[in-house]
Amino acid sequence: MKWAMFLRFFQIQPRDKGNKAGINTSLFPVKLKTFVELNMDVASASPRRYFFEVMSFFASAEHEKERLQYFASPEGRDDLYQYNQKERRTVLEVLEDFPSVQMPFEWLVQLVPPLKTRAFSISSCHSAHQNQVHLTVSVVMWKTPYKRKRSGLCSSWLASIDPQQNVLVAVWFKKGSLPPPPPSLPLILIGPGTGCAPFRGFVEERALQNESDPTAPMIFCFGCRNKDNDFLYQDFWMKHSQNGGVLSEDKGGGFYAAFSRDQPQKVYVQHKIKEQSTKIWSLLSQGASVYIAGSSNKMPSDVLSAFEDIVSAESGVSKEVASRWIRALEKAGKYYVEAWS
């Protein structure tokens, strides 16, 4: 960017002079507030070590300067990690903790982490909701080691929007890593928590296709904490798993839910697929594809391990052979994982 600051407006210009896309590269004014809101992550990402070094130059209080220099030094590395990254301190919080620092905007603009875009799976099917895109967003919340409450920037902001007000949300569409399955393909879908998002669209699509031609069986394993609190789209899954619906056992599929915190021991999606071992193996033998979506913690590897157990138990081969079989499935484009943290 090229900068010419005047009053509370900037003029900005893309740095790339190539301009192959034919974008208008002339200078245009942007309000300072808008620029910061749309580009600079002051309220969620933690600053880097160099930010502390630069802050120390602009600190006028001696004790703050010393502390910042210590944080920026090799000896202060561990303390900086505890104070900054582990506590997920934001740029704003750090600046508030060192009030004598008067960092010029030209420096801030270069050092503040850029605001990242957030991806969300589309949880509706286009044929069922034309001109609409549904998202399933969990408001991210956690406590830091010092028990400070933190919440996710984008998910909290989305949750704060008043649907009655016409708030414009800037969005981009990007092809996901889960290809849309043809109606004749048997499916095994695993989606705990917000991982159910893409599969709501799949089920809607299949329900429409099934109105004209019978579709292949479909199993969906959903997981959440409590049946009464976060059983997302409960009525929707129930509707499609009854009366010959696309998720029904009558059609060779099924809907299975794991509630992890409704009993003393954890029950997860992998426990549910193991309970359906015979059916899963039968679908895999018919050429089913496996789709897994949701949290990227241990879930994808635990689910993979459950599939290996199923293949091993049902076909009587060792776990190593079963593991190779699943890897071959993956190579053949029949085992997909879309996971996020």
Ligand X SMILES: NC(=O)c1ccc[n+]([C@@H]2O[C@H](COP(=O)([O-])OP(=O)(O)OC[C@H]3O[C@@H](n4cnc5c(N)ncnc54)[C@H](OP(=O)(O)O)[C@@H]3O)[C@@H](O)[C@H]2O)c1
Nearest-approach distance from CB 100 to ligand X, in angstroms: 35
| Residues 190, 178: Cα–Cα separation, whole Å | 12
Q: Which of 11, 295, 305, 312 binds ligand X (CB under 6 A)?
A: 295
The rounded distance, in Å, linking the Cα atoms of 291 and 190 is 6
Alpha-carbon gap, residue 235 to 203, rounded angstroms: 13
With b for 16 or more beta-carbon neighbours within 10 A and e for fewer, the 99-119 pattern comes to eebebeeeebbebbbebeeee
Q: What is the DSSP letter of 45?
A: S
- Figure out which of the listed residues 194, 210, 241, 276 binds ligand X, where binding follows CB under 6 A: 194
Stretch that binds ligand X, among 134-142, 205-213, 280-288, 331-339 (CB under 6 A): 134-142
220 is a site residue for ligand X (CB under 6 A):
no
Could you say which of 101, 221, 224, 306 contacts ligand X (CB under 6 A)? 224
Residue from 3, 28, 50, 142 that binds ligand X (CB under 6 A)? 142
The binder of ligand X chosen from 202, 255, 268, 335 (CB under 6 A): 268
For ligand X, the binding residue among 269, 280, 284, 290 (CB under 6 A) is 269
Query: Cβ of residue 222: shortest distance to ligand X, in angstroms?
Result: 9
Residue 192 binds ligand X, judged by CB under 6 A: yes
Cα(101)–Cα(250) distance, rounded to whole angstroms?
Answer: 68
> Which residues are CB-neighbours of 15 under 8 A, at least 6 positions away?
1, 2
Compute φ and ψ for 286, nearest 5 degrees: -85, 5
Residue 283 and residue 293 in contact, taking contact as beta carbons nearer than 8 Å: no
Residues that bind ligand FAD (CB under 6 A): 44, 118-121, 136-138, 140, 142, 152-155, 194, 197, 338, 340-341
Residue 200 Cβ, how far from ligand FAD at the closest point, in Å?
10
> Contact between 193 and ligand X (CB under 6 A)?
yes
Q: Binding to ligand X by residue 305, rule CB under 6 A?
A: no
Residue written as token pair 């989606």: 191
Instruction: Say how many residues touch ligand X, by CB under 6 A.
Output: 25
By the 10 Å C-beta count (0-12 exposed, 13-18 middle, 19+ buried), 204 is classed as buried
Site for ligand X in 52-91 (CB under 6 A): none
> Among ligand FAD, ligand X, none, what binds residue 120 when CB lies within 5 to 8 Å by partner kind?
ligand FAD
**Residue 288 binding result from ligand FAD, ligand X, none, given CB thresholds of 5 to 8 Å by partner type:** none
Instruction: Report what 224 binds from ligand FAD, ligand X, none; CB cut-off 5-8 Å by kind.
Output: ligand X
Partner touching 137 among ligand X, ligand FAD, none, CB below 5 to 8 Å by kind: ligand FAD
Among 115, 113, 198, 120, smallest CA distance to 159 is for 120
Q: Residue 40 gets which letter from DSSP?
A: B
In the list ligand FAD, ligand X, none, the entry touching 3 (Cβ below 5 to 8 angstroms by class) is: none
Q: Are strands 187-192 and 28-31 parallel, antiparallel or unpaired?
A: unpaired
Q: Is the dihedral of CA 312, 317, 322, 328 positive or negative?
A: negative
Residues that bind ligand X (CB under 6 A): 138-142, 192-194, 223-225, 229-230, 260-261, 266, 268-270, 294-295, 297-299, 302
